[in-house]
Amino acid sequence: MLESDTSKLSKKELNIIQNYTEDLFKTVREPLLVLDRHRNVVGLNSNLKKKFKINGEFEERVSVFEFNNGQLDTPEFRDILNYLQTEGNTVTERDIQVVLPQKRKRGFTVNASVLQLPDENSIILLSFKKLKNIGDLSRQEKVYNRLVENILSNAPAAICILRGQEHTFEVANEHYIELIGHRDIIGKTVKEAIPEAESQGFIELLDHVYSTGEPYIGNETPLKLKVGKDDFKNSHLNFVYQPTRNKKGKIDGIFVHVVDVSEQVVARKNVEDSEARLRSVINTVPAIIWITDTDGQSAFLNKNWYSYTGQNNEDAKGMGWLDATHPDDRKKAEFAFLDAHNQKKSYSISFRLRNKQGEYRWVLDKASPKFDDDGNYEGMIGTVINVHEERLKENLVREKDHRLQGIVKEATVATAIYTGREMNIELANDAMIKLWGKDDSVIGTPLHKALPELDGQPFLGLLRNVLETGEIYWGKEDKVDLMIDGEMQTGYYNFTYKPLRDKNGEIYGILNMAIDVTESVTSKMLLKESEFHFRQMADLMPGMVSKTDAKGDDIYFNKNWLDFTGKGSKYLQEVGWESFIHPDEKETFLKAWEDCLNTGCNLEMQLRLKNKEGKYIWHLTRCEAVKEDDGSVKMWIAANTEIDKIKEEEKRKEEFLKMVSHELKTPVTSIKGYVQLLLTLLKKQKEAAEASKLPLQPSLERINHQVTRLTRLISEILDLSRIRENQLELKSEEFNLNELLAETIQDINYTNTQHKIALESEVQCQIIADRDRIGQVVINFVMNAIKYSPGSQEINVKISREDKDKVRVSVKDFGIGIGQENHKKIFKRFYRVGVKSEETYSGFGIGLYLANEIIERHNGEIQLNSELGKGSEFSFILNATQITS
């Protein structure tokens, strides 16, 4: 291009041109401007000076675009020059706008032509005809201009129009001027007016739009504008570069439409920043955070969700989160979410969530609805935290709890669990409900409501204390009044209040277990009462009574004991009453007493006890066991009755009898001798004395009978004394027992004709014994059989084998018999059955005593088989040396 040719005309060339133009200036009146081929100003006339308001000299050879402050550097003018120098030599009637000082625009119509001068020089002649006013413009242009002006001034955007290739500001509205900081821009190129735009790529963009005709839309494009010397202002612009075209369709400028969106961008940036910060916070918290939209679809899931589940954005879309829940929990989780979402309410649920390793872990999902400032529902926001360990523990506890509940329910011991300060009955088994006298409905209610009768009783206070202190309370035989069947009933209970602690050791409830001991307490109370009565009675009794526990320790002595010994109860308990027993009886007593303690059998014994004066007094001692229902000994009652006087009398009686029998024995023996002699003589002379009618024989026989009886009695009395004095001597000889029996029966038959005594010998046997004493036993048995069988004559004596080398002799009658209770007693000295029988049947009650002593001393055994009213069978068993059938 010519203008880019830097070389300027030589002085000589210039002179030629100037001479030439001076002539022109003289003839042409219109404002005229002459340029050389380099588009430098080489001449102008005075009219042009006037129109362009040029004062003084103009700078020679200055580029026309720099002329007069660059007023002619407009796109249209450049177009004119370009056209002149490239396409044709003449331009006619082209309108251009020139901005004069004070920014006043002035329109000119330009006519131009290129004049060829000699020397191959050329000049450009430009004439400017001033457009008088807007009225000179065509009507269409006027409408257009007004419209443009209107748009420009009223548009909310910053608008300007750039003309020509250099993007010269042709027009700009107030917003635009303001946007670029009130710079003087009209008539200047963008590069000149906003030099900082170049480095930011805007000129390049404009060039591109201008050259290609493609509009450009800038979106929030940052622009740094210089506001001070070194100060810059950052702006963000939404803008459009729209190419404009001339009538021929050629691009002649760019329409620029700018909206400063700096504020929004900053605000949004801030929001974005804080959102980013929030996001980073959300992503760094250890929980999963999620947000759903108003349709319940996933709107956001933080990083933790993806890293935990291994899901990607696609998986998690919509309600994709449900795919990560455990199949068994899916429905539950879905329902909980949708329910909360639909009702716009908070919820909390735990379910199993699959991690990326494919394992399911328990999580707690908690969410709340989100509302905007106007209260419109925006969706839900929730967190998911891992509670796996806790849940497992909880499950364990729950399982344990379940098991515990099962155990409690089944337990026969009345059991209940109370929780919380209100003592809610969490659990009560049937046994407890029965104990309370209530029904199932009490479960779940506070204890004081379920059992209002506890008001005024200490239990609610005790429970509260356990809850506060954590100390177990043991109730022992505590009295409890309960309303049972509409009646207040008193019971006694052994029970515990045990605090229950959770895994953190906090007390959350109380376990109550109770056993009804009412029966035992009341019977104890009764016992106490009866004990009291017993003591009263014991004190009133004439004898000395003591009580001994099952082990043999004395626990009670009545008043007589204290009086007798002159000692206190404590002393007696310490030494035991056996310490008062005479040394002669003590050993026997202690042995028998030990037997009693071992076997539970009663004891009866005569012994001497030392009184407070140190004198031994005879007592009949009876120790009786008091037994439990199961037969075990509960305690012993010992009664000591003074028998000293009886004993004395007995002694005297014995001594007397001893004396009497001694005295009697000799004469009676001789009487017997004589009577026998008489009888023998009489038999011999029987025939001779046949004539005699005297009842001599019966009389004598009776004498003999009586004497026999007398003799026997006397010898028994003597034996008694001998036994007492340990002087009963036994002979030892072998003899035939069958013979002895036959002889004895024969003897008895001899004097006893009324009874029929049969002897049955199943065996023949030899024994070693005192023949007379054994005979004495047989006589005693048979005589008793006769004596106590008034209504029956039959008596059977039998000798039989008892064992391999033992023989039994039994005497059986069918008389009055002996009651079971007397079976043992009849073998005691002087014991006779019943007072009345004493009157009916004569005797002393020593026959069986002696028989027993004799047989025992032969190491034999006496047995009795008898029933009252049905007869008796007395037998003895002895060792035999020989037994033959």
Residues forming contacts to ligand ADP in the complex (CB under 6 A) are: 780, 784-785, 788, 813, 815-818, 826, 832-833, 837, 843-849, 872
Q: How far is the CB of 731 from ligand ADP (least distance, A)?
A: 23
Nearest residue (CB) to ligand ADP, 353 versus 846: 846
How far apart are alpha carbons 198 and 767 in whole angstroms?
160
Q: How far is the CB of 719 from ligand ADP (least distance, A)?
A: 12
Query: Which parts of 550-630 fold into alpha helices (H)?
Result: 559-565, 569-575, 583-599
For the chain, the distance separating the N- and C-terminal CA atoms, rounded to the nearest angstrom, is 178
The CA-based dihedral angle spanning residues 516, 519, 521, 525, taken in that order and rounded to the nearest 10 degrees: 160
Q: How far is the CB of 546 from ligand ADP (least distance, A)?
A: 33
Nearest residue (CB) to ligand ADP, 277 versus 824: 824
Nearest residue (CB) to ligand ADP, 71 versus 872: 872
Nearest residue (CB) to ligand ADP, 557 versus 788: 788
How far apart are alpha carbons 427 and 511 in whole angstroms?
9
Nearest residue (CB) to ligand ADP, 815 versus 860: 815
Q: How far is the CB of 687 from ligand ADP (least distance, A)?
A: 41
Q: How far is the CB of 854 from ligand ADP (least distance, A)?
A: 12
Nearest residue (CB) to ligand ADP, 128 versus 849: 849
Q: How far is the CB of 765 from ligand ADP (least distance, A)?
A: 24
Q: How far is the CB of 712 from ligand ADP (least distance, A)?
A: 10
Nearest residue (CB) to ligand ADP, 183 versus 825: 825
Query: If 0-12 CB within 10 Å is exposed, 13-18 middle and 19+ buried, where does residue 823 land?
Result: middle
Nearest residue (CB) to ligand ADP, 88 versus 869: 869
Please name the helix (run of DSSP H) or strand (run of DSSP E) that holds residue 280, with its range, or none.
Answer: helix 262-284
The full 3-state SS of 224-268, as one line of letters, equals: EEECCCCCEEEEEEEEEEEEEECCCCCEEEEEEEEEECHHHHHHH
Phi, psi dihedral angles at 826 (to 5 degrees): -65, -15
Residues 6+ apart with CB under 8 A from 169: 160, 161, 162, 163, 185, 186, 187, 188, 189, 190, 193
Q: Which residues pair with 813 in a beta bridge?
A: 795
Nearest residue (CB) to ligand ADP, 308 versus 788: 788
Q: How far is the CB of 825 from ligand ADP (least distance, A)?
A: 9
Nearest residue (CB) to ligand ADP, 316 versus 833: 833
How far apart are alpha carbons 393 and 23 in whole angstroms?
116
Q: How far is the CB of 872 from ligand ADP (least distance, A)?
A: 4
Query: If 0-12 CB within 10 Å is exposed, 13-18 middle and 19+ buried, where does residue 118 land?
Result: exposed
How far apart are alpha carbons 35 and 696 in whole angstroms?
221
Phi, psi dihedral angles at 25 (to 5 degrees): -60, -30
Q: How far is the CB of 788 from ligand ADP (least distance, A)?
A: 3
Q: Tell me, what DSSP letter sits at residue 554?
A: E
Q: How far is the CB of 767 from ligand ADP (least distance, A)?
A: 23
Nearest residue (CB) to ligand ADP, 20 versus 844: 844
Look up residue 627 and give its amino acid.
Answer: K
Query: If 0-12 CB within 10 Å is exposed, 13-18 middle and 19+ buried, where does residue 358 land?
Result: exposed
How far apart are alpha carbons 854 and 722 in whole angstroms?
12
Q: How far is the CB of 786 from ligand ADP (least distance, A)?
A: 8
SS3 319: coil
Nearest residue (CB) to ligand ADP, 491 versus 847: 847
Please name the helix (run of DSSP H) or strand (run of DSSP E) that holds residue 203, with its range, or none.
Answer: helix 202-212
Q: Which residues pair with 425 in a beta bridge?
A: 418
Question: Whose CB is nearest to ligand ADP?
Answer: 843
Q: How far is the CB of 553 from ligand ADP (least distance, A)?
A: 39
How far apart are alpha carbons 250 and 253 in whole angstroms?
9
SS3 456: coil
Tokens of residue 335, six digits: 């329902």
Q: How far is the CB of 657 from ligand ADP (least distance, A)?
A: 14
How far is CA 847 from each of CA 387, 510, 709, 833, rounded to the nearest angstrom? 100, 78, 12, 13
Nearest residue (CB) to ligand ADP, 97 versus 872: 872
Determine contact, residues 364/333, Cβ cutoff 8 Å: no
How far apart are alpha carbons 325 and 308 in whole angstroms?
12
How far apart are alpha carbons 481 and 2 in whole angstroms?
128
Nearest residue (CB) to ligand ADP, 70 versus 817: 817
Nearest residue (CB) to ligand ADP, 610 versus 832: 832
> Strand 232-245 and strand 756-761: pairing?
unpaired
Q: How far is the CB of 823 from ligand ADP (least distance, A)?
A: 10
SS3 499: strand
Determine contact, residues 101/113, Cβ cutoff 8 Å: no
Q: Tell me, what DSSP letter sits at residue 689?
A: G
